[in-house]
Chains A and B, each alone.
Chain A
Amino acid sequence: MSMLSALAHVEAMQNMTAVRLTAFRHHRLSDRPLVIIPLTMAGEAGAPLAVMAGTARRDMTLLVVPQPRNRDQRFAFAADLGRVVMDYIDSYRQDRRGEGERSQYTDVPQIIVPNQGGVNALADLGRMCRFRSTTGPYAVPEVVPEFGMWLTFLVDTAEMAGTSMLLPLTALLTEHWATGQSTLEDQNLASLMAWIAPPRGVSIAQALEEAENPDVCPPAGPSTSPEFDNRDLAPAIKRFDTAHALGDPHTLAAAQTELTELIAGQVKPTWRLMWAAISILRSIPKAPQTARRLDRDCRLFTNHSDYRDAGGLPQRKRDTAISAARRLSQLERALADFEAAMAFDDPFVLADRRSGGEAFTGTVVESQPNRTAITAKNTTVPRPRVTVRTSDPLRLAAGTKLISPTMPKGHKAVIVSVLPDGDTTLVTVEVTAGMGRGRTPKAGSVPDLDKDIDYLPDPGWRPNPTFPDSDHTPWTHSADPDGPDDSAVPENAAAEEWGHDN
């Protein structure tokens, strides 16, 4: 955390109101996101209890597993939800642009869940579904494994900074606002929204209190509140089980309706809150580079879609050492790019970096616009130098490559020297790119005297690191240390045992 963000949180706490952290919204919001609220059953490994899903505030589907411990009911539920999600995803697998290799879909799906727990619940569901076989003794409907593979894909993309195909709402909100509470409490959607947009006529303090009262604001999932479980849900499930055992369709239908209504009562407040949050987020202008990130999403989406169309195998249970290393390097790079792009686009984020000494803003106090240098190839190139006076607590060293949001596109520079001068610092930079092809820099490409200018480190172009082929992995790094019973081959995994089949 930077000093600026720390201060923002302190201000929020003192003034009892959320404080803005960015000028823009850095994640794309779809016009038609699929909002999903997954609920799971306490204590049961990845057992779905219910889900509410839909693409508009007034258009929701509630699916409930009346007896989460029952395997058949779980997979009937997975199939129902799978159809909802696959219909939505398939609607983005229609329009392509470009030819051959470069052909890709023009838009991507976007699933929004309340919090990181929601992402984890979808990850579990994806894992539960993707290896299921559609034939044999434990056959599941066709859509189940397909849905599982798509969920796994979406969950994987969610780890990559700047992607927008699966987003936890709390993360979107905390990117834009600082609250006067801790990160832990910010994970509670209702508490977070209490700071940002308390209900009309309710003070933030009171809204916060209500947000932690499960009778007023049921948790946003995936766990339900223990009080609800003990007081309402357990007896209702019991009634369902009894009705099931009796086999009377009338009582069974009644028990099912009762359960559905109970659960609807628990999810609806979160549903409304999520759409309210989405509409607030929409009103924040989106950052210029969001479009470029959408393009990357389209590429990822198209690749996976084509892989599915070609009947590819489900994702492995665990990455091999090499694919894990490759993936880690991709994630790190995505994060560095995303952070740099945010600072480039957004003066708030830039200020944040400045307060930590990782970027600076200052005034040009000296300029040598006509300076040239001779390259190794013996050609003369323009290498203007300017000196900037800044009062920022700079921590960048000579040799750091820079980019600047205040200069025309393509401008690049490198720090030559950093000299303290009283309360300020004099930074001399050499302009290295963005000056055109001539012997003299084109107009406007060198900062003028007295100009205010921002600089931040260039995340730069890095070559993709090369990794050995899987064959060359030393045995110490091979996957599946668990032995043959943990095979990633779907046919074998289909025989996974199930308990509690009552």
Chain B
Amino acid sequence: MKPPVDGRLDALRGSSPRLSYNARSLAALENNPRCTLRALLDASGSDKAAIAAHIGYPSPFGQSSFAFARGNAFEAMVKDNGCAELLRVLRETLKLTLPEVAYLDLNEVGGAGDNDARHRRTTEVLLEAARGNGEGTLFDHPLLHLQVGGEGAFLEPDLVAFRIDGRFYIVEIKSFPIIDGQADPAQVRAATTQASAYIIALRALLAHHGMDTGAVSDTIVLVAPKDFTNRPTAAFVDARKQVAALTRQLSRIERVSDLVDLLPEDLTFDLDLDLTLPKKEQRPRRPAEELAAAVARVPATYRPDCLNHCEMAFHCRAHARAEASLDVLGPAVREQLGGIDTATMALGLARGQLTPTGDQSDMAAALRHAARLRDELTEAYGGAA
């Protein structure tokens, strides 16, 4: 008999401390829900960046200390004095009539790292509020719980939820600017995805206690710097679409326990860190080739978008390239060549060197036609670049 899935996930992660879902892994979940490798790495709380680096493909994401400092400073400013600035924009920009406001920081419970205590406290407070009893209006740092692939994952949002007229709203504080009422769509999207996960988690919490999930709004409040200043402004963002999309993906995602069952029993992503050393001095002791071999045993579904979302991207791209997978070229080419997986096969069909299967015959004809056109052009105008 295999050990229970929690134990298996811990074994996959090995010695390293467990990481929880963050903004990037949630975005990756939305953008590439079917990737087994990512699902397992995230569900087991493995450190993808450290693993990628150790096997020779350091992750493409660094964070500039400027962006970091600016983000923190902005958030601190918005939350300062019991969220005075936040309340100002809620009242002035969004024209909300807020009664007397009580601010509760849910971070102040339990010792650091005691997620269960924090989660219990969050639950308690939010349920009280939902019943209309509690005194809070603004809840900072609630610790929520999300089911991903049948497994629970803690979400540690840097956010405030506030309750007005009997509904909870998620507030996302971001440091990208809203210039003339418009912000970078990609960044708004990422922020909305993140908030959608919190909406889903908060609704699950209410549902679990037999309460109406409609008490959580699917409109989020985005708070960000106005124009080129440091002062915040706010906007409502309709998250309905992304809440629905994320819900769908969460329900479709294969059950992590099923994925785990398919793995060889001894498979692990363990880095074998020496935990007796201070954190900064911990170096992976596991041979890189061995770890790389373990990673390579798990199927991954690379797409160029991974470069924006997943720490493993350089590794997975190298594999996709080695297999001549059309995934390397991205969705536009993939769509055009539906049903064909590799460059080798596409060119084989285009040159008539491969016999198409039944459902490939239309595609093969189109490819041969395109190849003939290219040949004519090459003949008339010379070859490659």
Contact = CB atoms under 8 A, between A and B. Distances in A.
Q: Do A and B bind each other?
A: yes
Interface of A: 1-11, 13-15, 17-20, 23, 41-47, 124, 127-128, 177, 180-185, 196, 212, 223-227, 229-230, 233-234, 317-318, 347-348, 351, 354-355, 391-393, 481-482, 486, 496-500
10 closest residue pairs by CB, A with B: A499-B230, A43-B67, A226-B62, A45-B177, A182-B304, A43-B70, A182-B330, A42-B64, A229-B64, A6-B336
9 contacts: A6-B332, A20-B385, A44-B70, A45-B227, A46-B228, A177-B385, A180-B328, A317-B180, A499-B229
A10 B182 CA distance: 38
Binding site secondary structure of chain B: helix
B369 interface: yes
B228 A496 contact: yes
B66 A42 contact: yes
Given A496-B228, A496-B229, A7 B381 contact: no
B179 A127 contact: yes
Contacts of A124: 179
Given A124-B179, A481-B181, 18 more contacts: A3-B370, A4-B370, A6-B332, A9-B329, A10-B333, A11-B374, A15-B384, A18-B385, A43-B64, A43-B69, A180-B328, A182-B329, A184-B305, A184-B330, A229-B65, A318-B182, A347-B381, A393-B366
Contact of B180 (A11, A184, A318): A318
A499 B67 CA distance: 16
Interface string B172-198: 000111011110000000000000000
A10 B347 contact: yes
Contacts of A181: 304, 328-329
B298 interface: no
A13 B305 CA distance: 18
Contacts of B373: 4, 351, 354-355
Contacts of B182: 318
A347 B380 contact: yes
B324 A14 contact: yes
Interface in B146-201: 175-177, 179-182
Nearest to B329: A9
Best-buried of B63, B324, B374 by chain A (most CB within 10 Å): B374
Contacts of B175: 43
B367 A7 contact: yes
A10 B337 CA distance: 10
Nearest to A120: B184
Contacts of A43: 64, 66-71, 175
Contacts of B308: 184
A180 B329 contact: yes
A92 B31 CA distance: 47
A474 to B, nearest CB: 20
A44 B66 contact: yes
Nearest to B372: A391
B75 to A, nearest CB: 12
Contact of A355 (B71, B177, B369): B369
Nearest to A47: B228
Contacts of B62: 225-227, 230
B307 interface: yes
Interface of B: 60, 62-71, 175-177, 179-182, 225, 227-231, 304-305, 307-308, 324, 326, 328-330, 332-333, 335-337, 343-344, 346-347, 350, 365-367, 369-371, 373-374, 376-377, 380-381, 384-385
Contacts of B385: 17-20, 177, 196
B228 A128 contact: yes
Contacts of B176: 45
B377 A347 contact: yes
Contacts of A318: 180-182
A7 B371 contact: yes
A241 to B, nearest CB: 13
A392 B304 CA distance: 32
A47 B89 CA distance: 23
B369 A10 contact: no
B330 A183 contact: yes
A392 B371 CA distance: 12
B238 to A, nearest CB: 16
A45 to B, nearest CB: 3
A46 to B, nearest CB: 6
A180 B346 CA distance: 14
A238 B194 CA distance: 34
A236 to B, nearest CB: 12
A224 B62 CA distance: 11
B347 A11 contact: yes
Contact of B381 (A5, A223, A348): A348
A393 B304 CA distance: 31
A45 B225 contact: yes
B193 to A, nearest CB: 18
Nearest to A196: B385
Contact of A185 (B63, B304, B367): B304
B324 A13 contact: yes
A8 B374 contact: yes
Nearest to B383: A20
Contacts of A499: 229-231
B328 A182 contact: yes
Contact of B369 (A183, A225, A391): A391
Contacts of A224: 64
Contacts of B371: 7
Given A17-B384, A499-B229, A10 B326 contact: yes
Nearest to B181: A482
A18 B307 CA distance: 21
